[in-house]
Structure 1
Amino acid sequence: MGKKIKDPGLGKASSQHAKRMMNADGSFNLVHLNKPRRLSDAYHYLVNISWFHFFMLTFLVGFLINALFALIYLSIGIEEIVPSTGNILNDFLNAFFFSMQTFTTVGYGLMSPLGIASGIVSSFEAFLGLMLFAFVTGLIYGRFSKPKAAIRFSKHLILRDFNHTRALMFRLVNSRKTVMIYPKIAVTLSLSTQNNLGEYENSFYSLNLERDTINYLPTTWTIVHELDKESPFFEFSNEDLIKQHGELLVMISYYDESFNQEVHQMHSYVLNEIKLDCKFVKAYYYNDNGQMILDYKLFDTIESVKS
């Protein structure tokens, strides 16, 4: 077996039914229970959720705020804004549309506060609208400007003959057109085994790679771990290796010229996803004009190879 390393921070405790530690997108497969909620965490939450959930939450909060102010205007009396139609639904819609105009500071001029109470409420709502628009604008800027890697990892982890031995391989590519400067990668194996007491525990190994750093990456990079005598997989046959309860934890970092700083990204492969005796189809080639072409449709393509 290869040389063990200390727990990298994931914990040695395991279970017979333990699922993968890290999801394929790099997030940890962890459920938080009884976690205290703090208002200061709201910015972090809103910056990191998906764009779809961000805009859905923004529209929902905006709708609820304006619905609440519409009810306040109805309780004051819709007559302080516009003559009542005699229908509660129509009066609510008029109050809601007035609230939207006030909240966004549009003010079409067809409706306006006619009393002191409605004037005080509308003034407060306009101030609140300005504050919330400034807050949302800051969040959008924070989401756009947040340094983030855009690395695409291959769907497949392959095991094939290589250099008179065997090798595990996967590959990656930059999803952006920018060049990755000095990318470096580290792969850690987490292997869950049963000890003499019948308990399951994790053992961690740092995998030796054919290359763990390069100067720049304009195309694809195939990561290779040879199953030599230094590898923790050396004693396993191909079939036994796939049956192991193990996971490859991948972390890559590089200098991104768009953000002018180093960024990183994580990924995970589980051993039962291994494809045997396959190889990656080359995803780049040269056209008739001598230009290098990177075809992203070929990135995940694999083909069978003979032993």
Structure 2
Amino acid sequence: MGLNLEEQKAVDRFRKDIVEPSMTSLVVLDFWAEWCGPCKALTPVLEKVCADYADRGVLLAKINVDEDQFIAAQFQVRSIPTVYAMYQGQPVADLTSARTESQLKSMLDQLLEQLPIAAGGEAAPDVSQFIAMGEEILADGDGDRAAGIFSQVVEMAPQEPAAHAGLIRALTLAGRADEARAAAEGLDETLAAAPPVKAALAALELTGDKVDEGELQALRAAAAERPADMDAQMAFADAAFAAGDREAAGDTLLAMIRADREWNDGAARARLVRMFEAVGLEDPWAVATRRKLSTVLFG
């Protein structure tokens, strides 16, 4: 490669200290110098956050630009502190703008959502085929079997949002709402905020407590007999959606919005939007009902 002895030593150190750990972990690489005041201010922030995120596979590595000028030159470091996130030997993000604990955590959270890094810094296994299998079984209506598959996927890849979302949805479908709630309560903030998990939580909220057929018919009759009773309409819409009758739920809520869109601070519209989230915005029923809602609101 045409490197002199010192440059080769620097490359070897870089490979051992940064590249190799980055194959399974996210390495926060800090370029600094003894004379750099801002570097000294940033150091405790980096050390604290990386320690907090250690169990999620984040490591801190530091390069003194005076001692490792060759490596700094390869990264074209022109000012310090300069901070990069490294994964599998490549810089995946420039973290230099993150000077506070909250800013750095926010950027790391975004990266960890996108990278296949499991807790403890191990490379997350490819579980896509198992998730697809669970989704297929879920689509066939076998919630118990799907829950068994998703439970195993969660053990294999505990930071995979789709696995947790599938487990919550499967338990909900199987009528095991208490177990679904327990699974949801154990999630950290990052997983709970992931879109597939949010959709699963919406489904749990709306369909977790199903009524029996007799109660459903009683609610249907009450809604028909008292069309101006918004509470009766809402109760029937909730029960119909939980029972799988999306059309009845949607039509009831749309009628409520036509009658009084401001009732209970727009509760009917909010409930309909929540149902869209639960089934997925691309679901055919959600697409058709959203068009009807637009007509009601703006037509």
Q: TM-score, normalised by structure 2?
A: 0.23
The one of the two structures with greater contact order (alpha-carbon pairs below 8 A, sep at least 6) is 1
The structure with the largest alpha-carbon Rg is 1
Q: TM-score, normalised by structure 1?
A: 0.23
